[in-house]
Amino acid sequence: MWHIPRRHTIWELAASEVLSRENGAPEEDGADTVCERSVFLMGSKAGGKTSILLRCLDRDEPPKPTLALEYTFGRRARGHNTLKDVAHLWELGGGTSLSDLIQIPITPAALRFLSVILILDLSKPNTLWATMEKLLHAAQAHFEKMSSQAQKSKSGAKYQNPVHSTFFLTLLQEFHSDKKKVISKTLRFVAHYYAASLIFTSIKSESLMSKTKSFFSHLAFGLEKGKTMCCDPGKPTIIPAGSDSFSQIGSPPLTDVDITSLHAKNPKDLWKKVFERVFPNEGASEQRELKDPAKDPQYSEPQIDAMRAQKDQELEQYKRNATKSWKGLELET
């Protein structure tokens, strides 16, 4: 008999590479070499991304609404009189409305030491799946495109990327225990599916933020992230990547309907259908968000908006005059 080896997906290769490097800095970087990593934050609109980032960077300043895609950086020395490693930090604003901008931080050059953090607002569970699904799909599609380009640039050599996905989930509302179980198990499934770490956090809890900062420092600077782990649905969940399993997660928590009647196409689709039976999808409203941030109320600037309106009117008038001129030329000819 012929044995045909199973082909691994890019995400499986990435997960394997992440686990192999989980506890150390990049092997080829010595003490006299600056290591540069990239961390990309995306997630729910007004879900606490900026607040969490500021706390992780120990910056004592009030958070401001993120304008489209914003960049900052952090530095940290590995020891006394050593060079400082650099973390390039990208934050996507606008929820899912500006997902096209994902292509800016996810580049072939950044892939090798790139981490993606998805921050979801648990106080809005009815938009959670739609937000998560669209952003993860956009990130995965562009990641695979960039990985293909990187592989071609290496003359066909096998390219494995240690991209590390992490879900930070902001705890802003209490739910009934049954609903908590649905949220917790569903997010455990999705996190494990994407080989991601899963962390429930809150900027109001010093204990949870301390654990969040530990994970962030691991992604940004390669520091030890600790060994804390909690799978109890009654407590804030903390599960490092690779520590969970589908067998431990179990089946979707649904008792009032036969799972086979949901006609799911695959396991992820099954979890989606179960989750949306408990939390009906209201993500359609976010899908209709304006693509133009200048028209978003949260970015309102009265003087600038008034000037913009005036210029828009002038542009429309110019277009009408130009149309009349062309029609006149057509009549003359």
For position 49, what pLDDT does the model report? 94
Name the token pair of 60. Answer: 């004592």
Helix (H) or strand (E) holding 159: none
Residue 61 phi/psi, 5-degree rounding, is: -150, 150
Strand order across the beta sheet in which 238-239 lies? 69-77, 84-92, 36-43, 114-121, 164-170, 196-201, 238-239
Convert 13-34 to b/e letters by CB count within 10 Å (16 or more is b): bbbebbbeeeeebbeebeeeee
Residue 91 phi/psi, 5-degree rounding, is: -130, 125
pLDDT digits (tens, 9 = 90+) for 236-261: 899 999 899 999 999 998 777 777 78
Q: Which residue has the tokens 């003490």?
A: 31
CA distances from 91 to 9, 48, 52, 69, 321 (A): 27, 11, 11, 6, 42
Please list, in sequence order, all residues whose beta carbon lies within 8 angstroms of the beta carbon of residue 151, skipping any fewer than 6 positions away: 157, 158, 159
For position 19, what pLDDT does the model report? 57
For position 23, what pLDDT does the model report? 47
- Which residue ranges in the chain fall short of pLDDT 70? 1-32, 154-164, 172-175, 283-299, 323-333
- Report whether 202 contacts 209 (CB < 8 A): yes
For position 3, what pLDDT does the model report? 38
For position 179, what pLDDT does the model report? 87
For position 1, what pLDDT does the model report? 37
For position 293, what pLDDT does the model report? 62
